[in-house]
């Protein structure tokens, strides 16, 4: 006689997905909502333009720099434990920012927030990886996880516009109740497995130095120009540090980032895809924002509202991507998503001589739905290409390259804004570059044997 329990389909547990989605929302929204508050913070706490840049970069720099370390810690000590530590740190750091009496303390709080976000993001992907063994469930969970980023894009400017007139500190204080809810939901998570291996101290130090200087050089280059000695020096040290880190990983028994992770075709496609997509997304949105404010005269809040439809359409793309992955596979989903991004960039290029807010909203929405469809597929491909015991470091690699790509996009496209005779020419050049890059990515994905391999476990 057959047991009824074996015939009953496995139910989808929503708690791990809700936890990961809310965490992604927090990490993304904290950049967007803070940008709206910068002028008010500057008028109350002082510090000028340099302080405003550090309020933003103080979060971005440790976030991008420490992702690899955080992913390694997630694998070693368990994703749930690291996620809890990051969430508690995020809540406490938000309180420091909200109560900061000086701009220096606020910047210190932002540094702590960036460290906490680095702990949260890769462990949230690992939580999904641990919770869902079926491809269908994991694809759905990662699509909902992606909605967290899309929702942050919509809610960040809106919440900032609502909270800043009351008091700027509320843009940080609002994180605290969200973190408390997250901590409560974490009680429903299973205990994460951990791995007891020797700590790669040299690798960790080299990674922090290399990535920190690399990201710092990109940020400073975008701010003061890449001909200045400071960004040139930082980039040089960063390249040397990253090279030394990669060499060190071949010479230790238990490397922080096993280079074998780069072996599968799927991993290389996912890492390159995530990097190229966020580079062009951040760069084009940055250029369009400059155009809306400097050429069309829109306020920061009004220009932010132009992108709100894109956020909702991107969220719909996240859900559509899950259905496409389950219907036709990851490879098909990636090609469809990136192709829609290419169409959006082509539309921006075609309209660049008569561009208005409506044209930007429509074309960027095409880019957004393409990004929404393909981004969870790339994340899923990362997890399917890596052993489960290395899901944390694989997720960290994916998110680290996205952070570096985003910083490069803003810095390089910012240079394009002033490199030509007029801003309009630079704007058209940025759209053309984005179209060409995603077109090459489509060809690379199409030629790669990905999307049909079974999930590997170890």
pLDDT tens string for the chain (458 positions)?
444 444 444 577 888 999 999 998 998 888 778 877 877 888 888 877 667 777 877 888 888 888 888 888 888 888 899 999 999 999 999 999 999 999 999 999 999 999 999 999 888 888 888 888 787 888 888 888 888 887 887 777 778 878 888 999 999 999 999 999 999 998 888 887 766 767 778 888 888 888 888 888 887 787 777 888 998 999 999 999 989 988 988 888 777 777 787 878 888 898 999 899 988 988 888 888 888 877 888 876 787 788 888 888 988 888 888 888 888 888 999 999 999 999 999 999 998 888 888 999 999 999 999 998 998 889 888 888 888 777 778 888 888 888 888 878 877 887 787 778 788 888 899 999 999 999 999 999 999 887 544 444 44
Phi, psi of 372 (to 5 degrees): -65, -35
Tell me the C-alpha to C-alpha distance, in Å, between residue 458 and each of 79, 166, 280, 315, 386: 16, 52, 35, 33, 9
Packing angle between helix 135-163 and helix 14-45, nearest 10 degrees?
20
Of 189, 214, 231, the residue that ends a domain is 189
| d(C-alpha 190, C-alpha 208), whole Å | 31
- Same domain? 104 vs 20: yes
Query: Could you tell me if residue 301 is inside a domain?
Result: yes
- Same domain? 84 vs 100: yes
Of 218, 236, 255, the residue that ends a domain is 255
- Same domain? 295 vs 365: yes
- Same domain? 42 vs 170: yes
| d(C-alpha 135, C-alpha 451), whole Å | 11
Of 139, 155, 189, the residue that ends a domain is 189
- Same domain? 137 vs 249: no
Region label for 78, one of left (φ > 0), alpha (ψ between -120 and 50) or beta (otherwise): left
Query: Could you tell me if residue 456 is inside a domain?
Result: no
Give the chain's domain count: 3
The tokens for 284 are 């084009």
Query: Could you tell me if residue 56 is inside a domain?
Result: yes
- Same domain? 158 vs 299: no
- Same domain? 427 vs 387: yes
Exposed e or buried b per residue across 81-111, where buried means at least 16 C-beta atoms within 10 angstroms of its C-beta: bbbbbbbbbbbebbbbbbebeebeebbbbbb
Please report the pLDDT score of residue 50 as a whole number: 67
Residue 105 Cα to chain centre, angstroms:
26
HSE-CB of 111 using CA atoms within 13 angstroms: 8
Burial class (CB within 10 angstroms; exposed 0-12, middle 13-18, buried 19+) of 426: buried
Query: Could you tell me if residue 325 is inside a domain?
Result: yes
- Same domain? 181 vs 227: no
The CATH number for 85's domain is: 1.20.1250.20
CA dihedral (230, 231, 236, 242) positive or negative:
positive
- Same domain? 29 vs 102: yes
Residues 342 and 435: beta-carbon distance below 8 Å? yes
DSSP 8-state secondary structure symbol assigned to residue 254: S
Query: Could you tell me if residue 458 is inside a domain?
Result: no
Query: Could you tell me if residue 274 is inside a domain?
Result: yes
pTM > 0.85: no
| Residue 437 CB neighbour total at 10 angstroms | 17
Please report the pLDDT score of residue 5 as a whole number: 43
Query: Could you tell me if residue 174 is inside a domain?
Result: yes
Domain extent, residue 248, equals: 201-255
The tokens for 404 are 């570096």
| d(C-alpha 28, C-alpha 30), whole Å | 6
Please report the pLDDT score of residue 346 as a whole number: 95
Contact residues for 145 (Cβ-Cβ < 8 A; gap 6+): 17, 20, 21, 24, 124, 125, 128, 376, 379
Instruction: Calculate the CA dihedral of residues 251, 256, 260, 265 and round it to 10 degrees.
Output: -140
Could you please report the per-residue DSSP string of 148-188?
HHHHHHHHHHHHHHHHTTT-TTHHHHTHHHHHHHHHHHGGG
Query: Could you tell me if residue 28 is inside a domain?
Result: yes
- Same domain? 237 vs 272: no
| d(C-alpha 175, C-alpha 309), whole Å | 24
Closest by Cα among 334, 286, 26 to 151: 26
| d(C-alpha 212, C-alpha 62), whole Å | 7
- Same domain? 280 vs 424: yes
- Same domain? 318 vs 441: yes
Residue 285 Cα to chain centre, angstroms:
15
């Amino acid at each position: 006689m057959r047991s009824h329990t074996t015939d009953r389909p496995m139910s989808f547990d929503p708690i791990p997905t809700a936890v990961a989605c809310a965490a992604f929302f927090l990490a993304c929204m904290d950049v967007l909502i803070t940008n709206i508050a910068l002028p008010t913070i500057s008028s109350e706490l002082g510090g000028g333009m340099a302080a405003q840049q550090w309020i933003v970069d103080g979060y971005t720099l440790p976030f991008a720099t420490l992702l690899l370390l955080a992913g390694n810690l997630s694998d070693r000590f368990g994703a749930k434990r690291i996620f809890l530590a990051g969430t508690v740190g995020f809540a406490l750091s938000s309180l420091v920012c909200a109560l900061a009496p000086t701009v220096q303390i606020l910047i210190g709080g932002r540094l702590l927030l960036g460290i906490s976000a680095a702990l949260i993001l890769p462990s949230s992907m690992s939580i999904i990886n641990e919770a869902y063994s079926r491809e269908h469930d994991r694809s759905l969970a990662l699509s909902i996880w992606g909605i967290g980023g899309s929702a942050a894009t919509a809610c960040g400017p809106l919440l900032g516009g609502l909270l800043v007139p009351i008091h700027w500190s509320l843009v940080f204080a609002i994180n605290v109740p969200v973190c408390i809810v997250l901590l409560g939901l974490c009680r429903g998570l299973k205990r994460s497995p951990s791995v007891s291996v020797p700590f790669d101290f040299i690798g960790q130090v080299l990674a922090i130095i290399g990535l920190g200087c690399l990201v710092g050089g990109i940020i400073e280059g975008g701010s003061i120009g890449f001909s200045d000695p400071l960004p040139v020096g930082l980039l040089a040290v960063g390249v040397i540090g990253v090279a030394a880190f990669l060499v060190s990983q071949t010479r230790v028994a238990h490397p922080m980032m096993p280079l074998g992770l780069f072996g599968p075709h799927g991993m290389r496609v996912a890492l390159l895809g995530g990097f190229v997509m966020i580079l062009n997304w951040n760069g084009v949105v940055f250029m369009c924002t400059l155009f809306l404010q400097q050429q069309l005269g829109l306020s920061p809040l009004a220009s932010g509202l132009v992108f709100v439809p894109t956020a909702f359409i991107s969220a719909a793309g996240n859900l559509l991507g899950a259905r496409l992955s389950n219907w036709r596979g990851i490879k098909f989903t990636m090609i469809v998503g990136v192709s829609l991004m290419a169409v959006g960039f082509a539309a921006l290029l075609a309209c660049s001589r008569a561009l208005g807010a409506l044209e930007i909203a429509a074309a960027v929405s095409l880019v957004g739905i393409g990004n929404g469809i393909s981004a969870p597929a790339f994340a899923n491909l990362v997890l399917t290409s890596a052993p489960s015991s290395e899901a944390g470091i694989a997720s960290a690699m994916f998110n680290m390259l996205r952070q570096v790509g985003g910083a490069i996009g803003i810095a390089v496209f910012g240079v394009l804004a002033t490199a030509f005779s007029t801003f309009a020419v630079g704007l058209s050049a940025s759209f053309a570059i984005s179209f060409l890059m995603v077109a090459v990515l489509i060809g690379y994905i199409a030629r790669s044997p990905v999307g049909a391999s079974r999930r590997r476990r170890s």
